[in-house]
Amino acid sequence: MLHIDEQFIVDNFDDALANGAIRAYYQPVIRTLTEKICSVEALARWQDPVMGLLSPFLFINVLEKYRLIHKLDLYILENICITYNEMKENGLPLHPFSINLSRLDFDEIDMLKAISDILRKYNVPSKAIHIEITESVMLDNTAYFRRIFDSFHDAGFAIFMDDFGSGYSSLNVLKDYSFDVLKIDMRFLSDIGSRSKKILASVVNMAKAIGIHTLAEGVETKEQKTFLRNIGCEMLQGYYYAKPMDGALYVEYLSETGFQVEDPDEHHYWNEVGQINFLSPDPLNENDYTEAENGDYGFVRENSAPLALIEQSDHHVEMLYRNQAYETNLQKLGFASSKEMIKAINETEAAYYPNMDEQVKSSIITGNVVKEDHFLNGIYFTYFTKCIAQTDSKVMLAASIQTYGSDVDMSTNEMFDTYSRALIDTFDHITIMDPERNRVTARVYSKQGYSPDYSNMPLIESINRFAADEVAEEERLAFLDFIDPPTLRDRMAKISSRYLQGTFRVKCADGTFKPKVIRITKLYLDLDVKGSRELFMLTMQSISDSGN
Ligand code: C2E
Ligand code: MG
Ligand code: MG
């Protein structure tokens, strides 16, 4: 192993700083859900002409011992500022940078002032800098460091707890300090066996419970990445994505690799999305931790609740995450996969699932969990949605699905039976109309005693006959305007509704005229028959309880 003695470090440190032999290397941090770069960590490297590239392990301790470390750290910060401004001048998207601080930095000088002075000199905002501190820094002198952290927070810096799990008092540190991000080092877990997985899942679970974001560093394999994604770890860093590289190489990397940089205006959005706990038995309702008195929180469930994260922008829907339970339930609804469902949504007219659209809208407006029942492909299901974050141009929904199939309580047939009776009880008459083909597609049923002839003639003729024979004379013209089949679609579109409704006096079985609510609803039926989609259902409902 390369031996570098302390004296070499101490003797050459100032020169190395002055001639640029010491420099910041950059390693990107990746947003797990989007795989975009969301920040970068600066790591010190010393390129000695004789000794070669020296890793921080060879010189950090020595610099600490000789009380020189603050010089290194502030120098690295200047490096960052220079790179930041270069990126800005080159029109590259900007992201925050992390610096590593040592506890001795705080003993030597007023670190906050020193850092702020440098940022001012280079005109770099404090939100562009994240401060990484290892937990060992805070082992003693809690009150002192708490004050320091508070002052950094107040000045707009985010604080990352580095190397979580490496020391002995991680839990105390979590309790005593307010951090923004927990950095979990994968290398502290010798393998990624089932024990390690449970530990990691619990840590992520716990971090979410106390509102701290999670970042896994030292991620080297696809298996690790996949696992971390599944448990909801928000950010990843490691050789699997990129090794630390020097400034010039990094800028090249930014322009040449496929990795995109996250829009800094979206940091807040992604931070909010990151709060959702993938492992929770009830992820949409897990906000009010104070109410969790059943002691159930914090456990990693073998069977998490169905959960998906769905992003909706103006004309596009994207599913960024779904767990196995969600996928299974979607398949029960007849979709081959969630991918297929999203594809169908994106490729069909915006309002293909209008009920869903309405549910989504009310989730956005209320910010609450909205729960509604739907019926699709012969299956009843309850859909839960909650808007968990939004920007001006998009929203993120957390969604869950509960299906009721033959495997659950009631069989579909029984369900149908029950509900269809209730329907018949509610409506006096139901007819399906097909304006495009000028046809009455189906008379579902009628308690009004109308002649079946109405369904055996062209739609327009049927309507005219019906108006003449069954609608009160003074309302006839209004009724004909209301029902006018060729214009139904446009009239609904104009008021952004999928139905039209009016009240007309119609003839009842006993020959008298009574007011009925007539509603024409646009149907969305996937009948696999070309052109058969735009059908309208006419329902007739009594106004008073006295029936017909
Ligand atoms: P750290 O802050 O936890 O940095 C992460 C270390 O893990 C870096 O080592 C990085 O190169 C390495 N690493 C990243 N991804 C992987 C991976 O996938 N696999 C493996 N095996 N390693 C990975 P590095 O650069 O040698 O830094 C070591 C430590 O030295 C840092 O740990 C940090 O505590 C300290 N350090 C580095 N630069 C500075 C600095 O400018 N100031 C201070 N005070 N400390 C620094
Ligand atoms: Mg670090
Ligand atoms: Mg670390």
Judge if the beta carbon of residue 218 lies within 6 A of ligand 1. Answer: yes
Q: Do domains 308-416 and 427-542 have the same CATH topology?
A: yes
Between 176 and 294, residue with greater pLDDT: 176
- Report residue 67: phi and psi, to 5°: 55, 45
Identify the CATH number of the domain defined by range 308-416.
3.30.450
Residue nearest atom 25 of ligand 1, based on CA coordinates = 43
Q: Mutate which of 79, 100, 241 to test ligand 1's pocket (most atoms within 8 Å of Cβ)?
A: 100
Distance of CA 43 from the midpoint of ligand 1 (Å): 6
378-385: average pLDDT: 83
Distance of CA 443 from the midpoint of ligand 1 (Å): 73
Q: Tokens 């490496």 — which residue?
A: 166
Candidate from 69-83, 384-398, 410-424, 429-443 with smallest mean pLDDT: 410-424
Do 7 and 227 touch, CB atoms closer than 8 A?
no
Judge if the beta carbon of residue 162 lies within 6 A of ligand 1. Answer: yes
Distance of CA 170 from the midpoint of ligand 1 (Å): 19
Closest CA to 304 of 285, 328, 323: 323
Residue nearest atom 37 of ligand 1, based on CA coordinates = 43
With 0-12 / 13-18 / 19 or more C-beta atoms within 10 angstroms meaning exposed / middle / buried, residue 114 is middle
Distance of CA 195 from the midpoint of ligand 2 (Å): 25
Q: In this structure, which ligand is nearest to the CA of 55?
A: 1
Alpha helices in 212-352 (DSSP H): 222-230, 247-256, 267-274, 324-332, 338-347
Residue-wise pLDDT for 222-253, tens only, equals 999 999 999 999 999 999 999 999 988 898 88
Judge if the beta carbon of residue 135 lies within 6 A of ligand 1. Answer: no
Judge if the beta carbon of residue 228 lies within 6 A of ligand 1. Answer: no
Distance of CA 143 from the midpoint of ligand 3 (Å): 24
Judge if the beta carbon of residue 244 lies within 6 A of ligand 1. Answer: yes
Judge if the beta carbon of residue 239 lies within 6 A of ligand 1. Answer: yes
Residue 378: count of CB within 10 angstroms of its CB: 12
Judge if the beta carbon of residue 126 lies within 6 A of ligand 1. Answer: no
Helix, coil or strand: residue 20 = coil
Judge if the beta carbon of residue 221 lies within 6 A of ligand 1. Answer: no
- Three-class SS string for 27-43? EEEEECCCCCEEEEEEE
Judge if the beta carbon of residue 277 lies within 6 A of ligand 1. Answer: no
With bands split at pLDDT 50, 70 and 90, how would you rate the model's confidence at 548? very low
Residue-wise pLDDT for 289-319, tens only, equals 333 333 333 333 445 789 999 999 887 899 9
What confidence score (pLDDT) does residue 533 get? 63
- Structural class in CATH, domain 427-542: alpha beta
Judge if the beta carbon of residue 187 lies within 6 A of ligand 1. Answer: yes
C-alpha 547/C-alpha 97 separation (Å) is 71
Judge if the beta carbon of residue 79 lies within 6 A of ligand 1. Answer: no
Give the H/E segment covering residue 372.
Answer: strand 370-376
Residue nearest atom 33 of ligand 1, based on CA coordinates = 100
Distance of CA 56 from the midpoint of ligand 1 (Å): 7
320-327: average pLDDT: 91
Ion ligand 2: residue ranges with CB closer than 5 A: 100, 132, 162
What confidence score (pLDDT) does residue 415 get? 63
What confidence score (pLDDT) does residue 99 get? 98
- Report residue 236: phi and psi, to 5°: -130, 145
Dihedral angle of Cα 331, 336, 341, 342, to the nearest 10 degrees:
120
6-32: average pLDDT: 95
- Three-class SS string for 455-496? HHCCHHHHHHHHHHHHECHHHHHHHHHHHCHHHHHHHHHHCC
Q: In this structure, which ligand is nearest to the CA of 101?
A: 1
What confidence score (pLDDT) does residue 141 get? 78
Structure tokens at 297: 């929180």
pTM: 0.74
Distance of CA 128 from the midpoint of ligand 1 (Å): 20
Q: In this structure, which ligand is nearest to the CA of 166?
A: 3
How large a percentage of the chain has pLDDT more than 90? Answer: 46
Judge if the beta carbon of residue 101 lies within 6 A of ligand 1. Answer: yes
Residue-wise pLDDT for 254-278, tens only, equals 877 667 889 888 989 999 999 888 8
Distance of CA 273 from the midpoint of ligand 1 (Å): 28
What confidence score (pLDDT) does residue 69 get? 96
Rounded to the nearest integer, the mean pLDDT of the chain is 85
Distance of CA 320 from the midpoint of ligand 2 (Å): 28
Closest CA to 75 of 113, 103, 44: 44
Q: Tokens 């869950």 — which residue?
A: 400
pLDDT of 3 above 90 = no
Distance of CA 250 from the midpoint of ligand 1 (Å): 17
With bands split at pLDDT 50, 70 and 90, how would you rate the model's confidence at 189? confident
Distance of CA 167 from the midpoint of ligand 2 (Å): 15
Distance of CA 55 from the midpoint of ligand 1 (Å): 9
Judge if the beta carbon of residue 163 lies within 6 A of ligand 1. Answer: yes
Domain covering 6-177+245-274: architecture: Alpha-Beta Barrel (3.20)
Instruction: Give 421's contacts (C-beta < 8 A, 6+ positions apart).
Output: none
What confidence score (pLDDT) does residue 180 get? 95
With bands split at pLDDT 50, 70 and 90, how would you rate the model's confidence at 522? confident
Q: Mutate which of 43, 163, 192, 220 to test ligand 1's pocket (most atoms within 8 Å of Cβ)?
A: 43
Domain range summary for the chain, segments of one domain joined by +: 6-177+245-274, 308-416, 427-542
> Which atom belonging to ligand 1 lies closest to the Cα atom of 27?
14
